[in-house]
Amino acid sequence: MDESLPQLYGRAVDLRHADIDHDAGQSEGFTTIGIGRRRLTGTSVDVGPADDRVGFLRKAVACALLPSACLRGVGIAGAPDLADALDRAGIPVTRLPVTPLMEDGRDCAVGDADGSLSMLVIGNALGDAVRDGDVEAWLARLDTTQGVLAIVRADAPSGVPGGDPGWPDLAGVPDELQRVSGFGASLMDRSSGLCLFLRRAPDTLSARARRFIHREGILTRAGPANLAQATETGLPNGSLVPAARPHMPPASALMPYLERIDSAQWYTNFGSLVREFEAKVCRSYGLAAGCAATVVNGTSGLTLALASLHVPRGALCVVPSWTFCATAHAVVAAGLRPYFVDVDRQTWCLEPEAIDGILADAPGHVAAIMTVAPFGAPLDVTAWDRVTEATGIPVVIDAAASFDGLSPGRSPAVVSLHATKAMAVGEGGVVVSTDPDRVRHIRSLSYFGYDGDRASRFSGANGKMSEYHAAVGLAQFDRWEDTRRRYLALAERYRERLGRLPGVALAPWFGGGIVTNTCNVVLEGADAASWSAWLQARGIGTFRWWPEACHTQPAFSGYARSQLPVTEHLNRHMLGIPFHLSLSGRQISQVLSAVVSTVKACAEAA
């Protein structure tokens, strides 16, 4: 699995709940990375000139430590020297005026300039000249995904007494900034006193970035011992309990199947291993032969299933916005227009009972419905079959993580076999239905529209599974009962500890005899970014499996949507915590204890 967690930077930044110790000159609760132009041996350094800060920013952008667009819309308050230096460098700057009170004594508003900011620069010598309302207004303009917050120290960063230099104390920084959360990483140029907070850490570090960090010198505060090594090699930081890890069969389990491939010299186009895997899928669901068709991946399976409906191109397809983006991509790829709708607060699913109202409010002709089984939820497929019977509108089911919880019906359901799933082949998917004619047609579409001969009878694609992926699937079937038992036992342990914890909501089906490959929790009291920071500060990796609801993503911004209050709530508050079969007993206890202690700390602070 490609882990895109911000672990290269250690624990995520959380200024809102950081314990600021002005006397010691350090901030607990998050890790910082100091980048200077030399390795430091003392406890303080001289502040570099403003032009040096500009040079550092340009170097950091050039090696992709900072977003490439961060210097295209800079707003500055209280750092006139840096503003002048940026002007000299030809970088556009908006100076944000700071006026504590209006003439009538009311709190002032931030300056009149409009537009979003890619970087917000605050001089920490502003002190009481800045009102919370000012800071909130500035932050509201800061790009929510790629924005950078910079605090310019007016004096030399202070060191940690008796030890290596650490994060400077934040005395003089407006109080509101000390409570800001939702930043994914922090950088500090100790030579110039420039402290940078990134909305999102880079997914990976380039070789150029690693050389830059190594050359300039890495300093950490309260960070893991192997952070410098992890940064230098560009590997995820291994000190956190990982949020996810694939459960794939070992090479020894694959060898008998690989030898069969070598012997047959048949590698694709529905060879014997693919046919055997499809037969095992049918038996596992109690289906007749021919009711399962493998595909190259789940997204392709969804697209082909929609294409098999032969509905008018350009028509609407009802789809929940609360789903992974692949669902919506499949709708668009099939020539339909997504109509994003809300899900039920209790089940996190689009419910069949809501369809009549959705169809009445739809802004056009609805030709298909794509419902989603979130994180392995056991959908009532027969209820969706009844929707088709009552409305004449066909339904396709995105059952990506529901290999164990699915009970197939006539409506085609697509199961993903991605490496992150409980039944994983690396990349792959399978479409199942009690209608063998529908499955046969989908298989034909996955094979260039061939149907018994080499004449393309339909507009198809190349979406077949290879024999090698089928080999992995067969090896997974060989140990499925043990895999299933272990997942269920792990889920039961989580449910016993977290199921009745105030402020934490597990999926209603989690630990109820249905295997799922993730543990997603809805955490009240703060947003997911804050919870992620608190847990990472306790050594627990986190992951947002669905990082943003579909309607918020640029690729789908032009499509219609209904009111989405539940989706938006889940989008803010849902977080994935470590849940996989590679967890040791000690790590499981660490995860559960960290969640419990974080919930208690949040409750006490409320």
| Separation between Cα atoms, residue 437 and residue 104, nearest integer Å | 77
Q: Residue 151: beta bridge partners?
A: 122, 195
**Cα–Cα distance, 80 to 327 (Å, whole number):** 48
Q: Can you tell me the distance from the alpha carbon of 16 to that of 181, in angstroms, rounded to the nearest whole number?
A: 5
Nearest C-alpha neighbor of 532 from the set 605, 604, 594? 594
Residue 1 near residue 244 (C-beta atoms within 8 A)? yes
pLDDT score, position 206: 67
Residue 537's pLDDT band, with cuts at 50, 70 and 90, is confident
Which comes out higher in pLDDT, residue 432 or 526?
432
Q: Encoding tokens for residue 566? A: 């539940």
pLDDT computed for residue 27 by the predictor: 29
Residue 64 — pLDDT band, cuts 50, 70, 90? Answer: confident
Q: What is the pLDDT of residue 212?
A: 61
d(C-alpha 567, C-alpha 477), whole Å: 35
Amino acid in position 563: Q
pLDDT confidence of residue 437: 97
- Asked if 377 and 509 touch (Cβ cutoff 8 Å), the reply is yes
Mean pLDDT of 153-168: 37
Residue 451 CA, distance from chain mean position: 40
pLDDT band at 526 (very low <50, low <70, confident <90, very high): confident
Rounded Cα–Cα distance for residues 21 and 595 (Å) = 25
Residue 31 has pLDDT above 60, yes or no: no
The mean pLDDT of the chain is: 78
Least confident range of 110-114, 239-243, 494-498: 110-114
pTM: 0.65
Q: Which helix (H) or strand (E) holds 138?
A: helix 132-141
What is the maximum alpha-carbon separation in the chain?
88
How far lies 208's CA from each of 42, 147, 200, 408, 450, in Å?
28, 22, 19, 50, 48
Q: What is the DSSP letter of 526?
A: S
User: Which residues sit opposite 340 in a β-bridge?
Assistant: 319, 561
Q: What is the mean pLDDT of residues 248-265?
A: 97
Confidence (pLDDT) at 344? 96
Q: Which of 88, 9, 82 is nearest to 52 (CA)?
A: 82
pLDDT at 199 over 50: yes
Region of 191 (left: φ > 0; alpha: ψ -120 to 50; beta: rest) is: alpha
Q: How confident is the model at residue 209 (pLDDT cuts 50, 70, 90)?
A: low
- State whether residue 353 is helix, strand or coil: helix
